[in-house]
């Protein structure tokens, strides 16, 4: 049995767990705990403290694992462990919470430094009225024109698939360019 993995990262409450749940064939093994901080509880009730774990079986010989990282900075010691040997990574950003953009940028830079692997940025909650437009987000996140910034709704399987496919196309393109 061959296994490969992708990592889904991003700030607290960006939608990472939901993203994995939308495509995983198993119930996501989520290590969630009730939130104790008042400010964080105002956003959601439970958060990932170790990792989320989803699976997509390709065939009897190949399985893709999706790992979701905990969003809070105090768990960043987990990030490097989870990023080891990943095919690529997805940075989830909540399009309606510009106060998290700076942190998203920081997480992106941290992961870029861990592993020089392909990545895409998913602008989550694009279906919400207050969502920032992609081009504005690109400037705020300081993404260059080559970086794929994709609209996403983490509860929408079709859009989650599109994000995963874009990452795989990037990996394939890198393989082709580095023949």
Q: Least distance in Å: CB of 34 to other proteins?
A: 26
Q: Least distance in Å: CB of 77 to other proteins?
A: 11
Q: How far apart (Å, rounded) are the C-alpha atoms in residues 96 and 113?
A: 27
Whether the CB-CB separation of 153 and 126 falls below 8 Å is answered with yes
In the chain, at which residue ranges do the beta strands (DSSP E only) sit?
2-9, 29-34, 46-59, 62-68, 88-94, 119-124, 149-151
Distance spanning both ends of the chain, measured CA to CA: 26
Q: Least distance in Å: CB of 149 to other proteins?
A: 15
Whether the CB-CB separation of 48 and 67 falls below 8 Å is answered with no
Nearest to 20, CA basis, from 32, 4, 8: 8
Query: Residues in the site for other proteins, rule: CB under 8 A?
Result: 2-4, 23, 56-59, 62, 64, 84-87, 102-103, 105-106, 109-110, 112-113, 115-118, 142, 144, 157, 161, 164-165, 168-169, 171-172, 174-175, 178-179
Nearer to other proteins (CB atom), residue 23 or residue 92: 23
Nearer to other proteins (CB atom), residue 95 or residue 170: 170
Q: Least distance in Å: CB of 54 to other proteins?
A: 12
Nearest to 17, CA basis, from 83, 85, 90: 90
Q: Least distance in Å: CB of 169 to other proteins?
A: 7
Nearer to other proteins (CB atom), residue 7 or residue 123: 7
Burial of 94 (0-12, 13-18, 19+ CB in 10 A): buried
Structure-block tokens of residue 71: 């969003």
Nearer to other proteins (CB atom), residue 32 or residue 63: 63
Nearer to other proteins (CB atom), residue 25 or residue 130: 25
């Amino acid at each position: 049995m061959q296994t490969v993995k992708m990592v889904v990262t991003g700030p607290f409450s960006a939608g990472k767990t939901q993203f994995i749940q939308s495509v995983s064939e198993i119930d996501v093994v989520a290590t969630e705990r009730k939130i104790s901080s008042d400010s964080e509880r105002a956003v959601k009730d439970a958060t990932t403290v170790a990792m989320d774990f989803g699976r997509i079986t390709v065939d009897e010989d190949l399985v893709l694992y999706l790992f979701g990282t905990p969003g809070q900075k105090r768990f960043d010691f987990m990030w490097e462990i989870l990023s080891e040997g990943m095919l690529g990574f997805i940075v989830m950003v909540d399009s309606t919470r510009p106060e998290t953009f700076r942190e998203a940028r920081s997480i992106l830079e941290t992961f870029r430094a861990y592993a020089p692997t392909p990545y895409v940025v998913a602008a989550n909650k694009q279906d919400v009225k207050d969502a920032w437009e992609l081009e504005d987000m690109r400037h705020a996140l300081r993404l260059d024109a080559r970086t794929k910034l994709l609209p996403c709704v983490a509860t929408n399987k079709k859009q989650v698939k599109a994000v995963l496919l874009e990452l795989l196309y990037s990996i394939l393109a890198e393989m082709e360019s580095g023949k």
